[in-house]
Amino acid sequence: MGHQLFHGTVIHSRGPAELIILESALLIVDANGKITNLIEDISRDKVSVLLSALEIPTSPENVRYLPRGQFIIPGFVDTHNHAPQWAQRGLGQSMHILDWLEKVTFPNEARFRDPEYARRVYTSCVDGFLKQGITTASYYGSLHAEATNILADICLAKGQRALVGKCNMNRNAPDYYRDASVESSLKDTEACIEHIRRIDPESKLLKHVLTPRFAISCDPELLDGLGKIAAANQDLPIQTHFNEAEQEMNFLQELFPQFKGSEADLYEHYGLLNERSILAHCCHMTEYEMGRLKELDCGVAHCPVSNMTVGGGFMAAPVRDFLRRDIKVGLGTDSGGGFSSSILDAMRQALVASNAREVMSQGKDKGLDIGELFYLATLGGAKVCGLDTKVGNFEVGKEFDGLIINADGLGVMTMLEHEDSTRTIFDKFVMTGDDRNIKEVYVCGSQVWA
C-alpha cells in the first residue's frame, strides 16, 4: 500500500473546546498508516505543486477529492462495550440492574461457553461496530477464556483496534455462570493475556484489558490476584463498573463495609485504580471520589443510553464536572445495557443527560455542546483507553483511524440546503445521521469497512 491522499473537509478535535474544521485541507497518510502531513487551506489547483515540493511518491491523479457534503472525521472510540450482549440489545429495558443481570444478561452470556456460538455472535458484533464507525472498542468478553480469545481473533482479522478482556466473576452470579475458583479465573486471565500477545506481539491493534466485572461479583482474593497481575503487567489497561446504580452501590457496601461506601478506596486498595483504569458509568460521585479519580488519572466511560434505560432511575453522570476537573472522559455504548450500539446515539443521549444535569445543578453544570460531544466520541475516548498518542485526531505522527462521511441525501439525516455552512452540515450529521452516512472506515490506514 502506497501513500493515501485526501483533499477536502477534515474535522477533528484538539480538546473539549477545540473543534477544528478545515474546509480545504490535504491529509497525507503513508504506507504504514501514519499521518505525515495535514496541510490546511490549500486549494485543489495547488495540490500537484505541493506534492512535487514534498517529494511524495505518488501522482496527483491518486488524490481523493471529497465533494461538498463529504468530510473526514476520526474513528469513533467506544470505551465501554459488552460484546456478549450484542444479541440481547433492547431486552430487559427499565429493569433494575441486578434483576436485569439475573433474568436477561447472565443466561445470555452463559451461552458463550459454546465456541461456535461465540464466533457467530462476535463476528456480527465486530462487523456491526465497524459499520457504525467504531474503530476502537474496549470490550468486556464473557467469563470464558476460549470465547474471549475468539473475540480477539476476530477483531484482529477484521482490523478493529480493541481492548479485549476476559470477564472475572466468582460470586453473586448463578452457579452456571461464574468462575469455578479464584485460581481458575486468574489462570484463564493469564492465558488470554498470552494469547493476545502471541497473535499481536507489537500490540498494533490489540491489548488485553483486565476486567473484574464489578466488585460485588469478585471476592477479595480474586480482586487481589487481578491487582497483582496489573502490577506485573504495566502495559495492560483495567476496566470495571464504578458507582453505576444505587442498588449495586448499596450491595457493594454490604460486602465491603471496611471501605465505607467508597469504590475508589476499594479498587485502589486492590491495585486496580490508576492511570490505566477505565471506569464505566460513574453516575453517583462524591467530592472525595472525584478527587481520587483526578489524582490517580483514571478514565471515565460515560454510557448515557444505558444509564437512562437499565439500572433503576434516570442516571445522568456529571460529565461537565469531569471536564471541569480535567478528568479523562469518553463515551460508551454499553451494548446490551441500552437500546443502541451507535456512538452517534450515545452523543445525542449525552446531550440529553447533560441538559438534565444543568437542571439538577440549578445551572451550575451547563449542558454539553456538539463540539464537546464530538470530543468525547473521539479524542476523549482515546485518552480514556490510553491510546491518544496513537489515535483520536489527525495530528501528524498518529495513525490514520478515520471515517469518510457522506452527509448528502442518504438515510434519514436532515437534508442539506444550498446555503448550509460546513459547520451546519457537520451539526446535522451529528444530530440526525446514522451508519448509512458512514461511507468508508479506516484503521491504521487500512480500509476495514465500505
What the chain holds in terms of domains, given with CATH numbers, is 4-74+392-449 (2.30.40.10), 76-384 (3.20.20.140)
User: Three cell numbers at 56?
Assistant: 511524495
Alpha carbon separation from 284 to 71, 241, 359 (Å, rounded): 38, 12, 16
The CA distance from 312 to 247, in Å, is: 8
Nearest to 142 by CA among 162, 181, 114, 123: 114
Distances (CA, A) of 309 to 312, 335, 340, 345, 349: 8, 12, 11, 13, 11
- Give the DSSP H/E element, type plus range, for residue 430: helix 422-432
Q: Name residue, grid cell 445470555.
A: 108
3-class secondary-structure state, position 299: strand
Helix (H) or strand (E) holding 20: strand 18-29
Contact yes or no for 99/312 (Cβ under 8 A): no
Match 444509564 to its residue by C-alpha cell.
307
Q: What's the pTM value of the predicted model, to 2 decimals? A: 0.97
- If DSSP states are collapsed to H, E and C, what string results for 245-287? CHHHHHHHHHHCHHHCCCHHHHHHHCCCCCCCEEEEECCCCCH
* Distance separating alpha carbons of residues 189 and 165, to the nearest angstrom: 8
Taking alpha carbons only, the member of 232, 248, 276 closest to residue 100 is 248
For every one of its 450 residues, what pLDDT tens digit does the chain have, with 9 covering 90 and above? 689 999 999 999 999 999 999 999 999 999 999 999 999 999 999 998 898 888 887 776 789 999 999 999 999 999 999 999 999 998 888 788 788 889 999 999 999 999 999 999 999 999 999 999 999 999 999 999 999 999 999 999 999 999 999 999 999 999 999 999 999 999 999 999 999 999 999 999 999 999 999 999 999 999 999 999 999 999 999 999 999 988 889 999 999 999 999 999 999 999 999 999 999 999 999 999 999 999 999 999 999 999 988 766 678 899 999 999 999 999 999 978 788 999 999 999 999 999 999 999 999 999 999 999 999 999 999 999 999 999 999 999 999 999 999 998 778 999 999 999 999 999 999 999 999 999 999 999 999 999
| Grid coordinates of 291 | 478527587
- Which position has the grid cell 493515501? 4
Three-state DSSP string of 68-117: CCEEEEECEEEEEEEHHHHHHCCCCCCCEHHHHHHHHHHHHHHHHHCHHH
Is the distance from CB of 324 to CB of 290 less than 8 angstroms? Answer: no
